[in-house]
A and B are shown apart, each in its own frame.
Chain A
Amino acid sequence: MIVVNVDVMLAKRKMSSGELAQRIGITQANLSILKTNKAKAIRFSTLEAICRELKCQPGDILEFCEDEDSPFNRD
Chain B
Amino acid sequence: MYDKYKSSIVSIIATFIFAALVIAGCVLLPFLIKIYMGDAYLTDIGRKIALYICLYICGAFSLLISYLLLRLLFNIRKNVVFDRANVKYARYISWCCFAVCAAFFALGFFVTFSFVISFAAAFIGLIVRVSKNLLNEAVDIKEENDLTV
Query: What is A's interface to B at a CB cutoff of 8 Å?
Result: 26, 30-31, 33-34, 38-43, 46
Q: What count of chain B residues pass the 8 Å CB interface test?
A: 5
**Assembly CA distance A33 to B149 (angstroms):** 8
Considering the complex, give the chain A residue whose CB is closest to the CB of B144.
Answer: A40
Interface centre among B143, B144, B149 (most CB of A within 10 A): B149
Cβ of A39: which chain B residues have Cβ within 8 Å of it? 147-149
Cβ of A46: which chain B residues have Cβ within 8 Å of it? 149
**Assembly CA distance A35 to B148 (angstroms):** 13
Q: Which of B91-129 contact A (CB under 8 A)?
A: none
Chain B window 121-144, contacts with chain A (Cβ cutoff 8 Å), 1 for yes, 0 for no: 000000000000000000000011
The answer, among B143, B144, B149, for a CB contact under 8 Å with A42, is: B149
Considering the complex, give the chain B residue whose CB is closest to the CB of A38.
Answer: B147
Cβ of B147: which chain A residues have Cβ within 8 Å of it? 33, 38-41
Cβ of A33: which chain B residues have Cβ within 8 Å of it? 147, 149
Considering the complex, give the chain B residue whose CB is closest to the CB of A29.
Answer: B149
**Assembly CA distance A26 to B148 (angstroms):** 11
**Assembly CA distance A34 to B148 (angstroms):** 9
Cβ of B149: which chain A residues have Cβ within 8 Å of it? 26, 30-31, 33-34, 39, 41-43, 46
- Nearest-CB distance from B116 to chain A (Å)? 41
**Assembly CA distance A41 to B147 (angstroms):** 7
Excluding A41-B149, A43-B149, 13 further A-B contacts by CB distance (< 8 Å) are: A31-B149, A33-B149, A38-B147, A39-B147, A39-B148, A40-B143, A40-B147, A40-B148, A41-B144, A41-B147, A41-B148, A42-B149, A43-B148
Considering the complex, give the chain A residue whose CB is closest to the CB of B148.
Answer: A41
Considering the complex, give the chain B residue whose CB is closest to the CB of A50.
Answer: B149
**Assembly CA distance A62 to B143 (angstroms):** 21
**Assembly CA distance A38 to B149 (angstroms):** 10
**Assembly CA distance A30 to B148 (angstroms):** 8
**Closest A-B pairs by Cβ, 5 of them:** A40-B147, A41-B148, A30-B149, A34-B149, A39-B149
